Amino acid sequence: MRSYAGAFIGNLLFTAICCIAGPFFLLMGLQIWHGGTDRGAALVCLGVGLAGTVTIPVAAYTSTRQGFPRITRRDRAKDASVRYDDDTLVMLSPESPKGPARAWLARADVLEASLVRYSPDGEATFTKHFGNYTPDEFTPLIRLGLRVHGVEGADPFEVTREWRVPSMCLSAVTAGRLVVLVHPAPSTGPAAGPFAGPAAGPFAGPFAGPAAGPPGSSDAVPGTASDAAPATPGEITPQWPRSLLLAGTRTSRLLDLDGHRTDVTRRPGRLLEQMRISRAAGGVVMTGDTIDLRRLDPHTAGRYTALAERIRAHPEDRAPVTEPGEESRWIVDELPGPTGEFGSSGRRWSRRGGHLIRARFVELRGTTTFQDHGPVLDTVVRVRPEDGTPPFDAARRLTLPMNYLAVLHRTRDVVLCVAPRGTSYVVDWPRTNLLAGVTPAKVITPDSAELPLTGRPDLIWPLMTLLAAHGLSVPAPTLDLRRRRMAPIAPFALRILDSAPPR
């Protein structure tokens, strides 16, 4: 298991080699000063050398802090304006083209998906972009087969096309529920029909949430959109931030005029109607993940209230976490990111009290920095220490692997390795990915029976903690209890497996 000290020493040596001129000028300045030949030249060399030498540890610390996913007490979120519930996930993701006012919001089911191209050339370095856009080289191109329905006056129709999908929104593809903007087809010319029009254009902005307004805003569209659906469907433009809401990745709640809060997460019918109301109103601001009707104009609040009463009379069942046919749109294996594994553990770390805990993301915000295997995001992680101290939220900039982002609708949990004294927490992405189901997990029992554990975090987690408590490393997604070094934990592992309820 790589340590923070090891990462810092490696960066320190690399920076020292790159900045070797600093110590050289420092030594040369000292030699000239003691020689007494030219004090002016000595001062210049000393100044340059001192600046270059000081740069070495500073640059090493900065690069280690940026690249090593360690959370300390100094990362505690301070003066949070919004207190999030434990089951909240607020995502401020790339904005999508807003389209003409006469375009219609509709639901699209993802029938199939496949990765066409993702080939950035930044290697493992951090690449920073300037400007309000999402760079194509860090946005995977995915071929999607969609069935679009809910357009008044038109039967459901299918369309297959390639779109750039922001990495923060990949979970909407895996979940299988998208929001698309159906443009009215041209009245004349050969392009009319459901397949008319070019593919979706560039993203309007990489970091605004589903609204171009205050943090957490939703569906902000300048001008006023018509509520009437186009008579003939034309160009199809996916709306990625809205799709996160429809897929259930981002949580959504409604605070009515009486102060009563309703959870509408994974209620696709109601969410789609709310999005249409919001678009017609020119945008509705969300505080965190909540729309407060008391802050809206009376007309818009009345429309929301009427919709709520209609839904109350005819309740809508909660949609599944993922739509049927997930195997046909499972692009997780094609995306970059660490392979899931039971993880590495140091015996010394374990004996001194090091252990694992599960934390949870409650907020994700995009930045202008990217790595090849995932975007660099401003995150808020809720950490629950096991030493009895109260939970706290840590605000930390982290690189999230793309294969983990693609299953974010399933889980927001993240595995942390806790230092022996509980002073720091290191994000363990291999363990996190195995727990999230990115990589198939299984156990081989002492009698050679293979037990699949994919999608069973209730079993994977106690096995992980058991291994970590005994300082046993299993850098693979398969736990083989036939190995001799697994003999001390084999009875306990079998007891965990036997106690699990059948699926």
Residue 383 has pLDDT above 70, yes or no: yes
Place of tokens 């990625």: 240
Which SS3 state, helix, strand or coil, does residue 383 take?
strand
- Mean pLDDT in residue range 370-382: 93
Distance of CA 71 to the CA centre of its chain: 17
Q: Find out whether 321 and 248 touch, Cβ atoms under 8 Å.
A: yes
Which is more confident, 336 or 204?
336
Structure confidence at residue 503 (pLDDT):
65
What is the Cβ-side half-sphere exposure of residue 341, based on CA atoms within 13 angstroms? 16
Per-residue pLDDT tens for 20-59?
A: 888 888 888 888 878 777 778 888 888 888 888 888 888 8
The confidence band for 473, taking pLDDT boundaries of 50, 70 and 90, is very high
**Cα torsion for 469, 473, 475, 479, to the nearest 10°?**
-70
Q: Order of strands, edge to edge, in the sheet holding 450-452?
A: 450-452, 442-444, 478-480
What's the alpha-carbon Rg for the chain, to the nearest Å? 26
Residue 250 has pLDDT above 50, yes or no: yes
What is the Cβ-side half-sphere exposure of residue 351, based on CA atoms within 13 angstroms? 3
Structure confidence at residue 225 (pLDDT):
45
Per-residue pLDDT tens for 173-192?
A: 999 999 999 988 775 444 44
Per-residue pLDDT tens for 254-297?
A: 999 999 999 999 999 999 999 999 999 988 988 889 999 999 99
What is the Cβ-side half-sphere exposure of residue 426, based on CA atoms within 13 angstroms? 23
Q: Cα–Cα distance between 204 and 224 in angstroms, integer?
A: 18
Phi-psi region of 327 (alpha: psi -120 to 50; beta: other; left: phi over 0): alpha
Structure confidence at residue 459 (pLDDT):
95
The confidence band for 206, taking pLDDT boundaries of 50, 70 and 90, is very low
Structure confidence at residue 134 (pLDDT):
77
Which SS3 state, helix, strand or coil, does residue 70 take?
strand
Cβ partners under 8 Å of residue 168, min gap 6? 91, 93, 94, 244, 364, 366, 375, 377, 405
Q: Cα–Cα distance between 95 and 239 in angstroms, integer?
A: 8
Cβ partners under 8 Å of residue 484, min gap 6? none
Structure confidence at residue 124 (pLDDT):
67
The phi, psi pair for 50, rounded to 5°, reads -65, -40
Residue 160 structure tokens: 């297959």
Share of the chain above pLDDT 90, in %: 56
Q: Tell me the CA distances in angstroms from 296 to 197, 223, 282, 284, 376, one per residue in order.
A: 36, 16, 12, 8, 34
Residue 140 has pLDDT above 70, yes or no: yes
β-pairing, 261-263 vs 355-371, is unpaired
Residue 393 has pLDDT above 90, yes or no: yes
Which SS3 state, helix, strand or coil, does residue 399 take?
strand
Residue 198 has pLDDT above 80, yes or no: no
Q: Cα–Cα distance between 220 and 280 in angstroms, integer?
A: 10
Q: Cα–Cα distance between 475 and 457 in angstroms, integer?
A: 18
Residue 137 has pLDDT above 50, yes or no: yes
Residue 486 has pLDDT above 90, yes or no: yes
Q: Order of strands, edge to edge, in the sheet holding 253-255?
A: 261-263, 253-255, 290-292
Q: Cα–Cα distance between 117 and 40 in angstroms, integer?
A: 58
Structure confidence at residue 77 (pLDDT):
84
Residue 123 has pLDDT above 70, yes or no: no
The confidence band for 91, taking pLDDT boundaries of 50, 70 and 90, is very high
Residue 218 has pLDDT above 80, yes or no: no
Structure confidence at residue 45 (pLDDT):
85
Cβ partners under 8 Å of residue 385, min gap 6? 357, 391, 418, 422
Which is more confident, 435 or 48?
435
Q: Cα–Cα distance between 399 and 366 in angstroms, integer?
A: 10
Q: Tell me the CA distances in angstroms from 57 to 8, 45, 485, one per residue in order.
A: 9, 19, 41
Q: What is the full DSSP assignment across 43-70?
A: HHHHHHHHHHHHHHHHHHHHHHHHHS-E
The whole-model pTM stands at 0.85
